[in-house]
Amino acid sequence: MPDQGQGEHKARIVGGLGRIVVKIGSGVLADANGLDADVIARLAADVADLRARGLATTIVSSGAIAAGRRVLGGKGPRSIPERQATAAVGQIDLMSHYRDAFARHGVTVAQVLLDAGDLADRQRYLNAEHTLATLQALRVIPIVNENDTVAIDELKFGDNDNLSALVATLVGADLLVVLSDVDALYTGNPATRPDARRVPVLADVDSAAVAMTEEGAGRLGTGGMRSKLLAARNAAAGGIPTIIAGGRIPGVLAQVVDPAADIGTLVLPGADRLAKRKHWIAYALPPRGSLRCDAGATEAVRDGGRSLLPSGVVAVSGQFAAGDCVRLVDPDGREFARGLSSYHAAEATLIAGRKSADVESLLGYSLGDAVVHRDDLVLTGTKAEGDDGAQR
């Protein structure tokens, strides 16, 4: 829960900055009339200044649908095809604004569109990593957005807050900055509670902190403060701190990297940093099924650092292939880990409850003693209701 001040925390973080990911929400970039060119120009100047200081900056930007709605002169899209078409039209307008705004500072930008499938597939994940690294080496600023033109519910990140946390891990960022139309996390809704106080520092995004936030989405966006905190928790698991701040504050990014400036809410990373591959398993992969474990296997995996053996599997659910991500749940059905299954669902069902030595006789072959090997497994904690992510 809330810490006492940004002071020493921020000084330590800012002192080691090399790479920053800046997420800019629709509520910052657009109003009812469409994109706000003045805001985009101001933020482009801020980012150009960061680059001049030697900081490699990647932008994750919303705004395509808000822009497309204005261009098409209609109301908000209702169906998935309408949303995809609106995003296709608006993405051109959005990138045109960014291109022109950055050109005034002699900076080249690149459009990078991703969907969840790009990061769920390991080779495509690595391709995206290499592309972003190459753009930075060429001193080009990548502007990343979800590829809403092709994304459907099954292939969506959920919102660009979540995408920004995944991109921060992808590029090895030292800081994630989430710019919103709300300037910080508060202890209550400032619009309805006069006693609400800004939370300057969060040492841990626990369920109590998430409960402090509004469930509703922002004025134009797909996620409210809750989604920003969950994104910060995602980044924290990868050892990356997050600052949530108001995107319409003049000079906001200069204040973010100023160790003396107390701005927004700083979310600190956890003590245990997940390796990039395990972070990918925990956060980028959609689980395709579940393995229910008995009490002994649950304890062995969760507390003993062991692999999940066939003998500890009580039940198998879902249709998954070998190499797919699955949830590991305890006897009460509570998830405690995620990992890559060594066997597909039908094979896992056949060997569930049996000894590893029996696998070859049961299947006619063996793909290893473990259903989920420890190297391919990440422990997950108690998640807030409705959260599909994982945490330490």
The answer to whether residues 258 and 328 belong to one domain is: no
Residue 383 has pLDDT above 70, yes or no: no
- The CATH number covering residue 20 comes to 3.40.1160.10
The answer to whether residues 131 and 88 belong to one domain is: yes
Pick the last residue of a domain from 226, 243, 272: 272
Pick the last residue of a domain from 208, 237, 272: 272
The three-state (H, E, C) secondary structure of 278-335, written as one string: HHHHHHHCCCCEEEEECHHHHHHHHCCCCCECHHHEEEEEECCCCCCEEEEECCCCCE
- The CATH number covering residue 372 comes to 2.30.130.10
Has residue 96 been placed in a domain? yes
Has residue 392 been placed in a domain? no
Residue 40: which of 100, 117, 92 has the closest Cα?
100
> In the prediction, which pLDDT does 387 show?
37
- Region 325-331: what's the mean pLDDT? 97
Position 7 confidence tier, pLDDT thresholds 50, 70, 90: confident
The answer to whether residues 255 and 357 belong to one domain is: no
- Region 302-321: what's the mean pLDDT? 96
> In the prediction, which pLDDT does 31 show?
81
Residue 222 has pLDDT above 50, yes or no: no
The answer to whether residues 147 and 235 belong to one domain is: yes
> In the prediction, which pLDDT does 158 show?
62
The answer to whether residues 262 and 222 belong to one domain is: yes
Using one digit for the tens of pLDDT, what is the confidence trace for 78-135? 777 888 888 888 899 999 999 999 999 999 999 999 988 888 888 999 999 999 999 9
Has residue 385 been placed in a domain? no
Question: Which residues have CB under 8 Å from 30's CB, separation 6+?
Answer: 36, 63, 66, 67, 70, 220
Cα–Cα dist 174/132, whole Å: 15
> In the prediction, which pLDDT does 385 show?
32
Cα–Cα dist 152/289, whole Å: 20
DSSP 8-state symbol, 6: S
Copy the structure tokens of residue 337.
């880990």
Has residue 33 been placed in a domain? yes
Q: For residue 254, how many other CB atoms are within 10 A of its CB? A: 15
The answer to whether residues 316 and 253 belong to one domain is: no
Residue 214 has pLDDT above 80, yes or no: no
Residue 278 has pLDDT above 50, yes or no: yes
Query: Exposed, middle or buried, 385 (CB in 10 Å: 0-12/13-18/19+)?
Result: exposed
Using one digit for the tens of pLDDT, what is the confidence trace for 132-191? 999 999 999 999 998 866 655 544 556 789 999 999 999 999 999 999 988 999 887 777
Give ∠ CA 76-180-6 in degrees, rounded to 5: 165
The answer to whether residues 260 and 292 belong to one domain is: no
The answer to whether residues 130 and 221 belong to one domain is: yes
The answer to whether residues 164 and 77 belong to one domain is: yes
Higher pLDDT, 335 or 207: 335
The answer to whether residues 263 and 364 belong to one domain is: no
**Which runs of E-coded beta strand occur in the chain?**
19-24, 30-31, 34-35, 56-61, 108-114, 140-146, 175-180, 201-202, 242-246, 265-267, 289-293, 313-318, 325-329, 335-340, 377-379
Give ∠ CA 150-151-156 in degrees, rounded to 5: 165
Cα–Cα dist 292/323, whole Å: 18
Q: Which residues of 20-41 are buried (b: 16+ CB within 10 A; e: fewer)?
A: bbbbbbbbbbbbeebbbeebbb
Residue 56 has pLDDT above 50, yes or no: yes
Has residue 387 been placed in a domain? no
Q: For residue 354, how many other CB atoms are within 10 A of its CB? A: 15
Please say whether the beta carbons of 67 and 93 come within 8 A. yes
Residue 215 has pLDDT above 50, yes or no: no
Question: How many domains in the chain?
Answer: 2
CA-CA-CA-CA dihedral for 22, 24, 25, 26, to nearest 10: -160
Cα–Cα dist 173/168, whole Å: 5
- Region 370-381: what's the mean pLDDT? 92
Return mean pLDDT, the chain. Answer: 87
> In the prediction, which pLDDT does 211 show?
67
Cα–Cα dist 150/91, whole Å: 13
Has residue 278 been placed in a domain? no
> In the prediction, which pLDDT does 224 show?
76
Residue 274: which of 227, 234, 327 has the closest Cα?
234
Has residue 299 been placed in a domain? yes
Cα–Cα dist 14/131, whole Å: 26
Residue 384 has pLDDT above 80, yes or no: no
Q: For residue 70, how many other CB atoms are within 10 A of its CB? A: 18
Supply the range of the domain harboring residue 375. 287-379
The answer to whether residues 73 and 149 belong to one domain is: yes
Position 371 confidence tier, pLDDT thresholds 50, 70, 90: very high
Pick the last residue of a domain from 272, 305, 323: 272
Residue 66 has pLDDT above 90, yes or no: no
CA distances from 248 to 27, 41, 256, 351 (A): 9, 11, 13, 57
Copy the structure tokens of residue 206.
């626990």
Percent of the chain with pLDDT over 90: 62
Please say whether the beta carbons of 300 and 306 come within 8 A. yes
Q: What are phi and psi of 249, to 5 degrees?
A: -75, 125
Higher pLDDT, 317 or 87: 317
The answer to whether residues 52 and 96 belong to one domain is: yes
Sheet holding 335-340, edge to edge: 313-318, 289-293, 325-329, 335-340, 377-379
Has residue 160 been placed in a domain? yes
